[in-house]
Amino acid sequence: MLLDWFNAREAVEVGASLADAVPPPPPSGHRSRAANGRPDVQKFLQRAAREARPLKLNLFRRAKLLETFKSRLLERGLERGQVEEMTHLLLVQLTGGGAREAVTAGEAVPAPAGGAARKRIPALLGEVEALMGRRDYAGAVERLEELLQIEPKQALAHNILGDALCRLGRFHAAEMAFRRAIELQPAMGDALLNLGTVLRWRGEFAASETALRRAIKRDRRNIEALTGLGHTLSALDRVREAKECFEKVLRLQPRHAGALCGLGWLASMDGRFEESERLLRAALDADPHCSEAWAWRVELRRMTRADHDWLEGAERMLAAGVPAVEEERLRFAMGKYFNDIGNYPKAFAAYQRANELQKQHATPYDRAARTEFVDEMIRVYPRERLAQPLDGASDSRRPVFVVGMMRSGTSLVEQIIASHPRAAGAGELEYWNTTAMKYRAVLRRETPDAALLGRLSAGYLKILDRQPAAAERVVDKSTYNSDHLGIIHLAFPNARILYLQRDPLDVCLSCYFQQFATAANFTLDLADLAHFYREHHRVVAHWRSVLPQDAFMDVPYAELVTDQEGWSRKIIAFLGLDWDPQVLEFHKTERSVLTASHWQVRQKIYSSSVGRWKNYEKFIGPLLKLRDLSP
């Protein structure tokens, strides 16, 4: 975000230096070497060009430089008229030619005579600086809105407004402010960076990538935009590209905390936990206030009471005051810490606070819309339609769909299958969820025609072709595919679908304890989670009843973790593959796991998560009604 927008130290120093370079006023009765008594203007402007213009001054820094320059000259005894003239010449030099250029660049220029309202702008900016410094972001928003009533086309003010709104967790409003700044000044790199960041926080990763690439196109050495792009690409499972971004940043700035943290995150996804810990510590050495690195450390292992120093560090960060998005991240991490050490009341309180913070900037979950969607799937995809072969369908047996609620064990089953030498895991592909949105008008009204079905099946196979050619089965473990099994079966009637059954209380509690993108807005409230699970259960019950038995198999999570080999054999046989004992050593398989279960799938199978909800029974009233749906 606007990390150093109000850092004007260098600007103040240069303003003072330039003022000191102006010759002192001549003694009374003497004349300066300039015939008119004025300093050598040409030399002064040349020096200003050398020292001030390379600073890339924004509106606030420019004002601070000019203010320092002017007050320093007055202190030194120069006549006010001469000071005003020199200050004006310096302003013209800094803006590259005068008021027209300054306006074009979206900068503030001196208010025209009589513009009483415009004369308030410098004072308002000073108030904004003070309020931001005190972390009074709500107050800063009020002053910025007042400023924008005076000067609605001030692009930089819109950009600062977006930053203040982000710190309050008002992401949608912040996005609008950044978009307005870019509309006014399309090449504003700061606004493009900020827009890309807030879009990533909102889970709109494709749009985030577009904004960040625009910022980088403007300045290919934009370290913050490169770092942000790395994090966005990581969220899109494009690991190689993400790593390249982080490594490029570190070539430009070897101790950049954000890039070190990004590489640490990628290392943990690959199961290189010691390397991840080293990189995260390096990030904290570079920036002790890097909350992301601090929070991510709890994900690398099970915490113990001996890690109390970690908790103290997290509490110090919160006490010092952090933006809402950073508090959110730290609260989720503190929840895991307390859960790991068995302090369940404090764990639940931390998770509850984290979810309440995230709920403030998420689109509210629409229960009626969810119920309507499930009704439509049941109506449009009955047994008789799914039993009829359609032109455009693919006969490929390569796709394997591992589905279920988030946190139901889908990553574990994917890892087991991917450990087979003739299979691969593709992670959570967005294809069918995106397709369902793109062709919503058709797919929620009737089954697709041959042309559309052919496009959908061909497009999906093209994505699977990115996997090794030797992989006869490729797993797509997107949990959202649970909603779209009707269209998936029509496109790939020979595909295999494995549904993970896990105790609804355990799975919903685990969702509540995990920080997902805000698109998963149903996870932020226990009552919403209970409603979503019932609708999920209803649509899956429909698919189970209408899909052929040889296409759909239930995998009970509790039985899988207590009879690993027995269920692993059933899974491999269901996929039509020969048994290979390598799948029992799934935790040793080297591959990226870009999900919340990246640590769990590196461990030998364990059953301690079964019945976990009992530790929290007195806190989860809305979920207790789901016990009648237990498998």
Residues 151 and 259 in one domain: yes
Does residue 433 form part of some domain? yes
pLDDT of residue 57: 67
- CATH of residue 178's domain is 1.25.40.10
Amino acid identity, residue 287? D
Instruction: Check if the beta carbon of residue 193 is closer than 8 Å to that of residue 36.
Output: no
**Mean pLDDT, consecutive 10-residue segments, the chain of 631 residues?**
57 83 62 45 73 66 77 82 77 55 38 57 82 88 91 89 90 93 91 94 90 93 94 89 96 94 90 90 92 90 92 92 87 96 97 94 92 96 91 95 94 92 92 92 91 96 92 95 96 97 95 87 96 97 96 94 93 96 76 46 56 93 90 66
Residues 445 and 584 in one domain: yes
Does residue 538 form part of some domain? no
Does residue 131 form part of some domain? no
Does residue 182 form part of some domain? yes
- The span from the CA of 208 to the CA of 232, in Å, is 7
Residues 305 and 265 in one domain: yes
Residues 254 and 211 in one domain: yes
Q: Which of 305, 246, 336 is nearest to 612 (CA)?
A: 336
Output b/e per residue, 222-251; b: 16+ Cβ within 10 A: bbbbbbbbbbbbbbbbbbeebbebbebbbe
Residues 227 and 345 in one domain: yes
pLDDT of residue 97: 44
Residues 47 and 81 in one domain: yes
Does residue 47 form part of some domain? yes
Does residue 147 form part of some domain? yes
Residues 344 and 400 in one domain: no
Residues 431 and 474 in one domain: yes
- CATH of residue 490's domain is 3.40.50.300
Would you say how long the chain is, in residues?
631
Residues 399 and 309 in one domain: no
Which H/E stretch holds residue 491? helix 485-491
pLDDT of residue 26: 55
Q: What is the DSSP letter of 614?
A: G
Residues 568 and 430 in one domain: yes
pLDDT of residue 3: 42
Residues 81 and 145 in one domain: no
pLDDT of residue 250: 96
Does residue 534 form part of some domain? no
Does residue 562 form part of some domain? yes
pLDDT of residue 101: 34
For 269-319, list the strands marked E by DSSP: none
- Dihedral sign from CA coordinates of 223, 224, 226, 227: positive
Strand order in the sheet with 473-476: 423-425, 473-476, 399-403, 496-501, 552-556
The domain tally of the chain equals 3
Residues 89 and 161 in one domain: no
Q: What is the DSSP letter of 122?
A: H
Select from 110, 145, 169 the last residue of a domain.
Answer: 110
Domain, as residue range, for 89: 9-110
